Amino acid sequence: MKYFALLISFLLSLKSSSQNLLVNGGFEDENICTEYKINCSPEAWISTGNAFSNYFKNPQHTYQGKHCIAVEAGVTDKKYLRTFFRSRLLCGLRSGKKYRVEFYLKSLHPILDSTGIYFSPNDILFEKNSLLQVTPAFFSSSSIEPISNNDTNWQKISIDYIATGKELFLSIGNFSKRDINQETGIFRENKFFIYVDNISLEPLGFNEKICNDWKTTKEEIYEQNERHEYLNKLIAYYHRIDQIPEPPKISTTTVTIIDTLVLPEILFESGKAVLNIKSYLMLDSFCKKISSSNVDSVVIEGHTDSIGSAIANSKLSYERAKSVTNYFTSNCKMAQSFFITRGWGIAKPIADNKTPNGRQKNRRVEVLLYIRD
């Protein structure tokens, strides 16, 4: 039973991260920096401060796994000194669409409410202006699940965000206008750390998915290995020429549009799975739509009424759906792999099987066309 529970937990973990538009949100993948050839920071995430002191590899510090990051919210003896972590998005967000940002925070100090998320079209590493002048998209205090500023345990932050469509980078840090520079109260420690772990960004729309070229973008993100002197030299170069690097060009998330065609029983020979010649005009018209669209998949499902045995109805519903699939594969010049054929028998009625009119509505084949926008 224990192993079964672990397997279910693992599968749920895979499912929950399948649409994450951020890579390495658990900070487990270690970057080998160009300068020192050591794993001093997480892949895909770059700190505006010292990478060595902001990457923790002790499981006692983490919410999950072996790694987490720590942003410096303030320093005792230096005014407004803070660090921010930033990462590139895998896919561009769609304007007006809603996304959920989730992450876990922990601090020994009552400062969690000052932590914010900032979306930007450009890389903040090359900004000349101080991030103190920036207003984040939201603070952690806006979490759906309220947080306690005095709780020193890990706390989950969950916030829904409506995109502008200009988001290419995400940054996390202390965006409060108030400085934190008093004594930490911890022996030989002058930094106010906020620990961050398991950050994710996912679309809330059920038909919005991660972009098709996300793997290529991930490879590009992981290829950036400058973390110390080389990164500082690159930043200094862009400051000297008074420019910022050209923003990366990434695909937006994929939205699937569903178009439905319902074939009533009259388009089949009575009690059989053979298509009636009257169905050809309708199927040819739909075939043109399939051929001219960016098709993700075509699901063809057969249904019957409740008259007769369940086994016979299941077989008839599948065979009718398969007849439609065969027509499309023969006439639309599309590979069989695009089509999914199912026979539901009596399992999914749309009307009352107790009346002749209801039973007639239930005897049908539905064609669901999923188009990538």
Whether residue 337 contacts residue 277, with contact meaning beta carbons closer than 8 Å, is answered with no
CA atoms within 13 A on the CB side of 26: 12
Evaluate if residue 318 carries a pLDDT over 80: yes
Amino acid identity, residue 364? R
- The pLDDT tens digits for 12-53 are 444 444 699 999 999 999 999 999 999 999 999 999 988 788
Edge-first strand listing for the sheet containing 364-372: 208-209, 254-264, 364-372, 295-303, 339-343
268 phi and psi angles, rounded to 5 deg: -120, 155
Tell whether the model's pLDDT for residue 292 goes beyond 90: no
Instruction: At 282, list the tokens.
Output: 């309708």
Q: Cα(29)–Cα(27) distance, rounded to whole angstroms?
A: 6
* Residue 291 or 298, more confident: 298
pLDDT of residue 18: 67
Task: With a cut of 50, say whether residue 271 has pLDDT above it.
Answer: yes
> What are the residue ranges of helices labelled H in the chain?
2-17, 214-222, 229-240, 280-291, 310-331, 356-362
Q: How far apart are CA 52 and CA 55, in angstroms?
A: 6
> What confidence tens digit (pLDDT) does each residue in 214-232 have?
999 999 999 999 999 999 9
Q: What is the mean pLDDT of residues 161-174?
A: 97
pLDDT (0 to 100) of residue 91? 97
Using the predicted structure, report yes or no on whether residue 11 has a pLDDT greater than 70: no
Q: Which residues pair with 261 in a beta bridge?
A: 367
Q: What percent of the chain has pLDDT over 70?
A: 95
Rg over alpha carbons for the chain, rounded to the nearest Å, is: 28
What three-state secondary structure class fits 191?
A: strand
Determine the residue type at 348: K
CA distance 370 to 373: 10
**Mean pLDDT of all residues in 109-120:** 95
Tell me the pLDDT tens digit for each residue of 169-203. 999 999 999 999 889 999 989 999 999 999 999 99
Give the whole-angstrom CA distance, residue 276 versus residue 132: 70
Please give the Cα distance from 65 to 30 (Å, whole number): 13
Please state, in angstroms and as integers, the Cα–Cα distance from residue 212 to each residue in 15, 93, 94, 216, following that order.
17, 14, 15, 9
| E strand intervals along 144-190 | 155-162, 169-174
Instruction: Note whether 64 and 197 are within 8 A (CB).
Output: yes
Q: Tokens 């502008």 label which residue?
A: 164
Beta bridge partners of 158: 102
Q: What is the DSSP letter of 248?
A: P
Nearest Cα residue to 74 out of 196, 182, 187: 182
Considering the chain, what is the average pLDDT of its residues? 91
